[in-house]
């Protein structure tokens, strides 16, 4: 039985992940787009043809498909499961570092994925715009 700190959002969201250089050594970045299997406050799970290994540390810019926002986070690959039928693998990514502002925005995106307004948000949008946060 799995014990998780945060609830997963079982959502097939289109995301793009740019792996940023870990140091300022002008390393090339790699960007790939994929569909998530699930998301949580602590990380995400996706399948694709990426070449990550368990334990890899990542500095990422995650573009969340439905919110079109970029989230700059650091994380690590917790597990990799290869699909023997295809050339893809499933990856479990744990977020290890993100700013407080990024965390709040990520939580807001997850609440929207769950179909609920963000905590503290007004229930009624004004003039068709996004609800105001209190």
**pLDDT at position 78:** 94
Domain ranges in the chain are 14-113
Domain 14-113: what homologous superfamily?
predicted glycosyltransferase like domains (2.40.10.220)
**89 vs 16: CA distance, rounded Å:** 16
> What residue spans of 15-132 are helical by DSSP H?
100-113
**pLDDT at position 92:** 94
**pLDDT at position 133:** 32
**104 vs 110: CA distance, rounded Å:** 10
**pLDDT at position 134:** 29
Residues sharing a CB contact under 8 Å with residue 98, sequence separation 6 or more, in sequence order: 71, 72, 73, 74, 106
Per-residue pLDDT of the chain (134 residues; tens, 9 = 90+): 454 565 666 667 777 787 776 665 556 677 888 888 888 889 999 888 888 889 888 888 888 766 677 888 999 999 999 988 888 899 999 999 999 999 998 888 888 877 765 554 444 343 444 433 32
């Amino acid at each position: 039985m799995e014990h998780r700190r945060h609830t997963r959002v079982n959502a097939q969201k289109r995301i793009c992940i740019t792996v940023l250089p870990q140091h300022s050594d002008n390393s090339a970045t790699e960007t790939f787009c994929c569909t998530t299997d699930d998301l949580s406050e602590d990380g995400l799970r996706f399948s694709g043809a990426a070449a990550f290994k368990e334990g890899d540390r990542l500095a990422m810019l995650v573009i969340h498909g439905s919110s079109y926002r970029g989230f700059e986070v650091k994380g690590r690959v917790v597990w990799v499961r290869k699909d023997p039928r295809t050339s893809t693998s499933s990856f479990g990514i744990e977020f290890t570092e993100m700013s407080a502002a990024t965390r709040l925005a990520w939580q807001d995106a997850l609440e929207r994925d769950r179909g609920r307004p963000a905590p503290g948000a007004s229930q009624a949008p004004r003039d068709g715009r996004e609800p105001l946060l209190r």
